[in-house]
Amino acid sequence: MGVNSNEIDIFRDSPVRYLGYANEVGEAFRSLVKKVFVHASYGVAIAYVLVDTGDKAKKQYDKPELLGGGVRPAFVAAGDTLLWQMFASVIIPGLTINRICWATAQGLKAAKFPRSPARLWAPTIIGLASIPLIIHPIDNFVHMLMDKSYRKYVR
């Protein structure tokens, strides 16, 4: 995206990055908490995405024109960050964890696993355990998708 690679990016290289995963945690707990908490987790993740988008746009805008600064490059950087983050941090992972938890619950029900705290918590535990496993494949897929679409046409 044109940001100095030697610079520490608080939104990508620090624990702040985990705010982007708030909705996956919300989805994992969906069967145990009120929907308002799941919706709030999406609010946290989307707020993270919007702040990161603004940060990348400002950094690009502030560069000298000679190095790709200005209004158009800032809009391109904002679009790239917004699309990438929404797909890689919110939409695809949220849907993936939602379906993993749903499938786990359905599998336990179909296997006639007795109603118990274990049956109640299993979808959440499996959903939480799945988060680290899905991050890199989704990130790589979204990078590929962005390279073949948005990035191809705006550069």
Residue 136, phi then psi, degrees to nearest 5:
-65, -40
Sequential pLDDT tens for the chain (155 residues): 444 557 788 888 888 988 999 999 999 999 999 999 999 999 999 999 999 999 999 999 999 887 888 999 999 999 999 999 999 999 999 999 999 999 999 999 999 988 899 999 999 999 999 999 999 999 999 999 999 999 999 97
Predicted local distance difference test score (pLDDT) of residue 5: 56
Nearest Cα to Cα of residue 51 among 95, 21, 10: 10
Tokens of 130: 């799945």
Q: For position 1, what pLDDT does the model report?
A: 45
CB 68 within 8 A of CB 46: no
Tokens of 52: 């990161």
By CB atoms closer than 10 A (0-12, 13-18, 19+), residue 77 is buried
Name the CA dihedral angle for 85, 87, 92, 98, rounded to a multiple of 10 degrees: 60
Domain residue spans in the chain?
10-152
pLDDT at position 2 is: 45
